[in-house]
Amino acid sequence: MSEQGFLSIRGLTKRYAAFTAVEDLDLDVPRGELVAFLGPSGCGKTTSLRMIAGLVPATSGRIVVDGKDLTEVPTHRRDMGLVFQSYALFPHMSIARNVAFGLEMRKVPKDEIARRVKEAIALVHLTGKEEHRPTQLSGGQQQRVALARALVVRPSILLLDEPLSNLDAKLRDEMRNEIREIQQRLGITAIFVTHDQGEALTMCDKVVVMNQGRLEQLGTPVDLYERPRTAFVASFVGRTNRLASVAKDGSVEIAGQRIAAPAGLSGPVEVMIRPHRIAFAPAGEGVPGTIAKAVFAGDILQYDVEVAGQILSVELATRGGETVLSPGTAVGLSWRPQDVFVYGAAA
């Protein structure tokens, strides 16, 4: 077995009658890391998070934090901070009382509560808003209150379930940076659920890609983007072209060019290449294609190129002065072998 993390999950499974929402999840999160759970709607992200928090009982599996088995421990004794998509603040209470709530429940002495609430509110940059009601704050400010409320109890693990999805794009960006900055400053171990791959890649130390209740790949953002282990990961993390082909004798053919295929692969395959990793080759070289569509988007030139009856999307960064090729123009395409991923096609 691999080295145990600060948070260690083994065989975590959730079944609802015949339906398996999460299947046999193994995961180790080192202390102080921010890990994203990334995947499409319904893949089991929230269910996994809620099992870790103890809000949903696991069908089987174990959850260990800092060497302590929490599997049978009730939620309120798991020492985890939770932040959800809806802020779920108490509308009739001031910001300070909202943040103090968890400490009051824990019967922390009054003067200590006052000090810690002040600190937590400062941490999320809301000093001065202590006596406001939640409705007097913007969405982003309310989400910061929810974050302060989770952090004030000094949880061993912070669990965030799509905390930014109710915010507009600009605020979401700001809050991403802020959450990451606070998480690193406090050195807190955290799980961040999102279906936004940009959020997962840019904010987190590691990313767990989930698909239909299973862990599809765990890795750093670079691992996932540059070395996706499955077709699902390649297409979910970053954008990619998908071409159908057939593997035979260790290689795959695209428009007359042969590409090495992974050992043991034969039959129908999917070939994936990211649009910005394709270049135009010098005249008469490369994989032959024909421009089907050209779009000048300012910072990039986007082409649809027909290659052997399939369309490849190609993106070139503009530098100024380039000619926009017209539809019908014959071109040659080239790419580096390491930028091509070949996977067995799903039956």
C-alpha to C-alpha distance for 310 and 258, rounded to whole angstroms: 16
Of residues 5 and 39, the one with the C-beta less far from ligand ATP: 39
CA dihedral 202, 192, 63, 39 (to 10 degrees): -80
- Of 290, 278, 277, nearest to 331 by C-alpha is 290
Q: Which of residues 136-195 bind ligand ATP (CB under 6 A)?
A: 195
For 107, counting Cβ atoms within 10 Å of its Cβ (0-12 exposed, 13-18 middle, 19+ buried), the class is exposed
What is residue 6's three-state secondary structure? coil
Of residues 19 and 107, the one with the C-beta less far from ligand ATP: 19
Q: Which of residues 9-38 bind ligand ATP (CB under 6 A)?
A: 16, 19, 21
What's the Rg (C-alpha) of the chain? Answer: 25
User: Which token pair is 161?
Assistant: 């379930």
Residue with smallest beta-carbon separation from Mg ion: 46
Does residue 47 touch ligand ATP according to CB under 6 A?
A: yes
Partner in contact with 135, chosen from Mg ion, ligand ATP, none, beta carbon below 5 to 8 Å by kind? none
- Taking CB under 6 A as the criterion, the residue among 7, 8, 33, 44 binding ligand ATP is 44
CA dihedral sign of residues 241, 246, 251, 252: negative
343 pairs with which residues across the strands? 270
By rule CB under 6 A, what count of residues binds ligand ATP?
Answer: 12
Asked if 90 contacts 97 with a C-beta cutoff of 8 angstroms, the reply is yes
- Taking CB under 6 A as the criterion, the residue among 4, 11, 31, 42 binding ligand ATP is 42
**By the criterion CB under 5 A, which residues form the site for Mg ion?**
46
Of residues 46 and 98, the one with the C-beta less far from Mg ion: 46
Of residues 46 and 217, the one with the C-beta less far from ligand ATP: 46
Of residues 38 and 175, the one with the C-beta less far from ligand ATP: 38
CA dihedral sign of residues 166, 169, 170, 175: positive
Of residues 165 and 184, the one with the C-beta less far from ligand ATP: 165
Does residue 197 touch ligand ATP according to CB under 6 A?
A: no
Write the interaction track for ligand ATP spanning residues 273-312; mark x where CB under 6 A is met and - where it is not. ----------------------------------------
- Of 334, 335, 337, nearest to 286 by C-alpha is 334
- Name the minimum Å distance from CB 167 to ligand ATP: 16
C-alpha to C-alpha distance for 229 and 8, rounded to whole angstroms: 23
Partner in contact with 323, chosen from ligand ATP, Mg ion, none, beta carbon below 5 to 8 Å by kind? none
Of residues 58 and 99, the one with the C-beta less far from ligand ATP: 58
C-alpha to C-alpha distance for 341 and 343, rounded to whole angstroms: 7
Enumerate binding residues for ligand ATP (CB under 6 A).
Answer: 16, 19, 21, 39, 41-47, 195
